[in-house]
Amino acid sequence: MTPDVPPLCRFAHEAMTTVFEVVVAGQEETYARQASAAVFREIDRLEGLLSRFQPVSDIAQINRLRPGESLRVCLEAFECLQLAAQVHADTGGAFDVTVGPLMNLMRDAKGNWQRVTDAELAAARAVVGMERLVLNPQDFTVTIRPATGADPATNVEVDLGAIGKGYALDKAAELLADWEIPDVLLHSGTSSVLALGHGGDAAGCPADQRGWRLGVAGDWSRQAGFDTVLLSGAALSGSGTEVKGQHVLDPRTGRPASNHLAAWAIAPSAALSDALSTAFMVMTTAEVNAYCRSHVEVAALVVEKRRGLLRMLGDKATATPAFAARAVPPGESNALRLEQNIASDGKTSVG
Amino acid sequence: MSSNEMKNVDGKVDRRTFLQSAAVAGASLALSGNALAQAVAQPAKPNLAGPKGIDDLNVGVIGLGAQGQVLIEAASGIPGVRFKAVCDIWEYHQKLVGGRLRKTGYDVKTYEDYRELLAQEKDLDAVIVATPDWMHAEIANACMEAGKHVYCEKEMSNSLEKARSMVMTQRKTGKLLQIGHQRRSNPRYIHAIDRLIREANILGRVTHAYGQWNRSIADSLGWPKKYAIDQAKLDKYGYVSMDQFRNWRWYKKYGGGPIVDLGSHQIDLFSWIWGCNPSAIVAMGGMDYYKGREWYDNVMTIYEFNTPEGTNRAYYQVLTTTKRGGFYEQFMGVNGALTISEVAARGDTVEREAHAPSWDEYAKKGWLKPVKEAIKPTTTRNVAVDVRVTAEAGKWPLPIELLKPAHQPHLENFFDAVRGRAKLNCPGEVAYETAVAVLKANDAVAAGRKLEFKPEEFKV
């Protein structure tokens, strides 16, 4: 290894109301920095297209459409919506990017759950739902269907917050493939991590452990005798509960979700793992298990409220060392830590 | 399988295969979703690739870097725009942009050489030119000579002689030439300048104007190793090196540096406000921070405008070592000051001087939003003065929002003009006057003294 090739180069950038980080292994520092700068420009571009807070984004424009109106959107917005629709269908509605009005009804300004009447709940449920978006892949248009309730003219509120950051990581990975940087770890404020190739010794991965070693789940995983995963060619996303209460709503019922204290999804793409980690919070353990059995490329980790124990779900997750993520014995040092402090904000951080 | 293909350790589920199959699954799902939409009025389908309809325009794009991509994204939202051909000497940008357009349904061919594009693409109505500045004139002129209408990015050129040739070619061919000073078509700017300042005169005499565009330090742009352009091709197209090709904005051969790249948009507004061109300029600046580049990395300049009301002055700065304040413009008159930015969050208000005549009539007409509550200072524990207020006193928000990408209205104006339904908001002659004013800033830095403009300098 020459002095020009440091073991790891790390670069950070604020976007999408979080901090993205790129950790590059085995590249000359200037080249790694220029590639990371290209990644960050791409993420900024995606934020401009996908953020509902940017008034000219495709998503903000969709949210201004009246029922019956259509908008031709960019490739990136369409791909996110397509995947959101796919996960919505595959999870029986446990993931829904249109759930905003329900969240606004159920939570007060401080984010605490509040009491609502059945009539209020029914009214809010009538305006949400993935089926209100008609995605037409022939011409990349999105058409809004009328709401089912008393006011069919209500707009849709799309929020890609639970999928867009993961999608940005996937697009970043495509770009880094152009740059021929095969060994790289990308994360979006550590709620989603995409690991490609091999981190090497500096990332706690000797050559016989191909991949990136990531710590997950903090106290929960240590209790379960599991605190590190080895990840390569796959993405890991986490969702968690707050100290004050649960902040995840089950779109299927409109009520606060209560099945898991925390959930992680491992999937081939970060957009998918991002969406699934949210869905797995509200699905029952049996539902998550069934999902993983019918989607062999996905593994899940959940902390069950009842037992306070971490369980890995999915055939590939526990037994097959060949799967990208697997448990390694606790206590081994030198892993890239993802300090998932589920007791505070459900965010992970690489330390 | 290429060396950069990423796969799982067991090779069973590789990302690419998964992503492809997921996309197919998503498509079928969306189709079934479409069946649900029978009750919804079906929109007119965009005709991206089929036989041309009466309002359809076949469009080519030459220059597919960052700005070309911004323009393509903005134009994609305009009905009737059909991208047919895109061109860049860099294979990487051909692949990136051509791929994106094909995926979204355009029947688009990619070219390396614009001459080949013009030779092959006989049914283009218009061409968007977004190459480095030094190639604008050659390419725009060739397009107009070939019978195409042209939307060309600013600056027209880094040479006034070449910029002049664009105006002359436009006159000779009778084709449209719109230059990309997109604020000229932005409804917020049109409202602020044409209606509030020029028509209503709410600021009184605008004695001063200010503009700035400040950016954080930034590394030179790199490139993926495998997409480096070989030296023979760089030579053919006139680029000294791959580094100069990627970072052309910093080199005198290809561009005018930050004062031209960024300042041009905002200096353009000064002559719009005052309805005349500047009469003199002083400027200082230099290459004081970055090494190995050619253009000034900071420029501070003052323009003098001799108007019928008297002499007014405009100060402009472009800094590339700090982002302090970002980018915005301010027009300061005896009765108030208007602050505006292309990004509304950075500037979108008019401040009234206490002695100014009432602005209530403008609020009633909807030309200004009614002023919000004045400051009500409160105290909270441990904080002497709480500055949490909804709005500062005396600041009147502008009433217009732009709910499309910033470049879209200017492109719409161009395409409407191509269809014979509009007059260009920034034709070549107008942009030439701005080029004269802006390029002189670099001359003034080099000269180290006040330089005069003669009125005839602005004419072609």
Stretch 90-129 of chain A: residues touching chain B, C-beta under 8 Å: none
- B-chain CB neighbours of A139 within 8 Å are 45-46, 48, 105
- For chain A, give the mean pLDDT: 82
Q: Is the pLDDT of residue B381 over 90?
A: no
- A-chain CB neighbours of B226 within 8 Å are 178, 180
B34 touches chain A (CB under 8 A): yes
Residues listed for chain A: 351
B104 touches chain A (CB under 8 A): yes
Nearest chain A residue to B43, by CA: A70
Residue B99 gets the label, from left (phi > 0), alpha (psi -120 to 50) or beta, of alpha
Q: Is the pLDDT of residue A347 over 90?
A: no
Q: Which domains are delineated in chain A?
A: 58-160+185-351 (3.10.520.10)
Give yes or no for a contact between A191 and A274, defined as CB atoms under 8 angstroms apart. Answer: yes
Give yes or no for a contact between A47 and A54, defined as CB atoms under 8 angstroms apart. Answer: yes
Residue A103, min C-alpha distance to chain B (Å): 25
What confidence score (pLDDT) does residue A328 get? 35
Percent residues over pLDDT 90 in chain B: 80
Residue B266, min C-alpha distance to chain A (Å): 21
Q: Which domains are delineated in chain B?
A: 48-175 (3.40.50.720), 184-221+258-404+426-458 (3.30.360.10)
- A-chain CB neighbours of B19 within 8 Å are 170, 268-269
Mutate to test the interface with A, among B5, B6, B69, B220 (most CBs of A within 10 A): B6
What confidence score (pLDDT) does residue A226 get? 57
Say yes or no for a CB contact (<8 Å) between B13 and A268.
yes
- A-chain CB neighbours of B402 within 8 Å are 55-56
Q: Is the pLDDT of residue A74 over 80?
A: yes
Three-class DSSP labels, chain B? CCCCCCCCCCCCCCHHHHHHHHHHHHHHHHHHHHHHHHHCCCCCCCCCCCCCCCCCEEEEEECCCHHHHHHHHHHHCCCCEEEEEEECCCHHHHHHHHHHHHHCCCCCEEECCHHHHHHHCCCCCEEEECCCHHHHHHHHHHHHHCCCEEEECCCCCCCHHHHHHHHHHHHHHCCCEEECCHHHHCHHHHHHHHHHHHHCCCCCCEEEEEEEEECCCCCCCCCCHHHCCCHHHHHHHCCCCHHHHHCHHHCCCCCCCHHHHCHHHHHHHHHHHHCCCCCEEEEEEECCCCCCCCCCCEEEEEEEEEECCEEEEEEEEEECCCCCCCEEEEEEECCEEEEECCCHHHCEEEEECCCCCCCHHHHHHCCCCCCCCCCCCEEECCEEEECCCCCCCCEEECCCCCCCCCCHHHHHHHHHHHCCCCCCCCEHHHHHHHHHHHHHHHHHHHHCCCEECCHHHHCC
Say yes or no for a CB contact (<8 Å) between A83 and B22.
yes
- B-chain CB neighbours of A297 within 8 Å are 13, 18
The tens digit of pLDDT for each residue in A208-228 reads 777 888 766 555 555 555 567
Give yes or no for a contact between B314 and B209, defined as CB atoms under 8 angstroms apart. Answer: yes
Residue A128 gets the label, from left (phi > 0), alpha (psi -120 to 50) or beta, of beta
C-alpha B177: how far from its chain's center?
16
Give the span between the Cα atoms of A99 and A254, in whole angstroms.
Answer: 9
Most confident of A236-240, A293-297, B154-158: B154-158
B39 touches chain A (CB under 8 A): yes
Give yes or no for a contact between B273 and B193, defined as CB atoms under 8 angstroms apart. Answer: yes
Nearest chain A residue to B3, by CA: A180
Query: Minimal CA–CA distance to A265: which of A295, A217, A302?
Result: A302
For residue A265, the SS3 value is strand
Give the span between the Cα atoms of B457 and A249, in whole angstroms.
Answer: 66
CA diameter of chain B? 78
Region B147-151: what's the mean pLDDT? 98
Give the DSSP H/E element, type plus range, for residue A311.
strand A310-313
Check the CA dihedral A292-A298-A299-A305 and report its sign: negative
DSSP A328: -
Q: Is the pLDDT of residue A339 over 70?
A: no
Strands A18-25 and A8-15: antiparallel
Say yes or no for a CB contact (<8 Å) between B4 and A146.
no
Please give the structure tokens belonging to residue B125: 């109505």
Mutate to test the interface with A, among B15, B16, B215, B243 (most CBs of A within 10 A): B15
Say yes or no for a CB contact (<8 Å) between A232 and B8.
yes
What confidence score (pLDDT) does residue A335 get? 35
A2 touches chain B (CB under 8 A): no
Give the span between the Cα atoms of B310 and B207, in whole angstroms.
Answer: 8
The tens digit of pLDDT for each residue in A14-70 reads 999 999 999 999 999 999 999 999 999 999 999 999 999 998 899 999 999 999 999
- Half-sphere exposure in the Cβ direction for A39 (13 Å, CA): 36
* Sheet order of strands, A18-25 included: A8-15, A18-25, A184-188, A192-196, A234-240, A260-267, A299-304, A310-313
ipTM reported for the complex, 2 dp: 0.85
- A-chain CB neighbours of B92 within 8 Å are 178
